[in-house]
Structures are given as structure tokens and as C-alpha cells.
Amino acid sequence: MEYILQPWPWFVSGPLITLVMLILVFFGKTFGMSSNLRTLCSIGGAGKYVDFFRFDWQAQKWNLTVVLGAFIGGFIAVQFLSDGSIIALNPETVSDLNTLGFVNVGATLLPAEIYDWDSILTIKGFSILVVAGFLVGFGTRYAGGCTSGHAITGLSNLQLPSFIAVIGFFVGGLLMTHFLLPLIFRQ
């Protein structure tokens, strides 16, 4: 039980993610979380305006069920399976973030500086989350997949398009982390 309550090492977590993908493949489905955003748009009536959202979303109910499960899984993991350990980040990462004005780095899963309602109820804080979410939603559909669809499933299936997409993920991620975050959080 002690091992379950502690954070899990990468060599346990990685193969378990493979298992998730394989179970879905076994049931004739594919592991792709971002498709649900399109499905939700469709359910919300986006098909009335754009034919991209005119499809039989009923066939995607299984994937929405995975989403519901993931939500419940998140709840279970923090409520019953965590010992409140601080994330064991590289001390350099912590000091880099301190320089950008982040405090209590790693004490929670997400930084209060971005995700606390106090931060969001400022124009800057609100814009950060709206822009971030927008880029994720727009980019993932443009690229035809996200981390699960391209980085895990596509690379496992040796798909060149997924390899190109993952290079893109890194180009964007490196630009944001090395150049834009220091501007956004400039002291």
C-alpha cells in the first residue's frame, strides 16, 4: 500500500499507459482523448454551423465514457491514493520557477500562480488560461491528435505523421517554456 500511495516511478507509469492503449485497441477502439472535444462541440450543436461537426457522435459515446472515468480516476487518486508528497522536481527547475515568481513549487499538482481563482480573476490570469486552452483545442484538431493519439498511439504504430506532430509539440513547448513564459511571468 505504501508503494501505491507514493508517486509512481516512470517505469511503472509508462507501461501502464501502454496497457490503457492496448485495452482500447483490443476492444476495437483507439486511444485518443482530444477527439472528445470535437464530439462535445457536436453535441453542443456546432454541426448547425460547420459540417466538420456533423457526424454521428453517438458512435463516440464509449470515448466520452473514458473521459468520465478519467475524471473519476483523478478524484480517486487524490482522495484515496495519495500521501501528499511534494513533487520531486529537479532543484534547478524549482529555482528557475522561483526566479519567475512561482512559490511553493511542487507542493500541489498545479501552480496557484496560474490556477487559483484569485489569479484567474485578473485580466492577465484569465487570458493565460483562455489562450492556453484555445491553443490546445485548436492545435490538437489541426494536428489530428494530441499526446495520446500521436505521441503514444501513433508513435507505437510507427506513423510518420505522428512523429512530425510530436516534433511540432516540442517546437511549441520549447518556444513557450524558454521564450514566452519568461515574458509572461516577468517580474
Partner 1 sequence: MKFLKFLIVGIFFGIVLVKSEAVSWYRIFEMFKFQSFHMYGIIGSAVFFGILFLWIFRKFKVKNSKGTAINLQLKEKSFTRYILGGTIFGLGWALAGACPGPMYILLGTGITSMLLVIASALLGTFIYGLLRKRLPH
Touching partner 1, residues 78-137 (CB under 8 A): 78, 81-82, 87, 89-90, 92-93, 96-97, 105-106, 109-111, 114-117, 120, 126, 128-137
Nearest distance from residue 187's CB to partner 1, in Å?
Answer: 17
Nearest distance from residue 111's CB to partner 1, in Å?
Answer: 6
Site for partner 1 in 9-38 (CB under 8 A): 9-30, 33-34, 36-38
Task: Find the binder of partner 1 among 1, 48, 59, 171 (CB under 8 A).
Answer: 171
DSSP letter for each residue of 100-150: TT--STTSSSS-HHHHSHHHHTSHHHHHHHHHHHHHHHHHHHHHT--IIII
Residue 145 found at the interface with partner 1 (CB under 8 A): yes
Residue 185 found at the interface with partner 1 (CB under 8 A): no
Residue 52 found at the interface with partner 1 (CB under 8 A): yes
Q: Which whole-number Å values give the CA distances from 7 to 81, 104, 180, 185, in the listed order?
A: 9, 18, 30, 29
Q: By rule CB under 8 A, what string of x and - marks binding of each residue 147-166 to partner 1?
A: xx-xxxxxxxxxxxxx-xxx
Residues in CB range of 141: below 8 A, 6 or more apart: 34, 37, 38
CA–CA distance, 137 with 165 (Å, rounded to integer):
15
Task: Find the binder of partner 1 among 101, 103, 122, 167 (CB under 8 A).
Answer: 167
Q: Which whole-number Å values give the CA distances from 167 to 42, 62, 163, 184, in the listed order?
A: 29, 30, 6, 24
Residue 60 found at the interface with partner 1 (CB under 8 A): no
Residue 182 found at the interface with partner 1 (CB under 8 A): no
Are residues 105 and 91 in contact, defined by beta-carbon separation less than 8 angstroms?
no
Nearest distance from residue 2's CB to partner 1, in Å?
Answer: 13
Residue 77 found at the interface with partner 1 (CB under 8 A): yes
CA–CA distance, 99 with 175 (Å, rounded to integer):
18
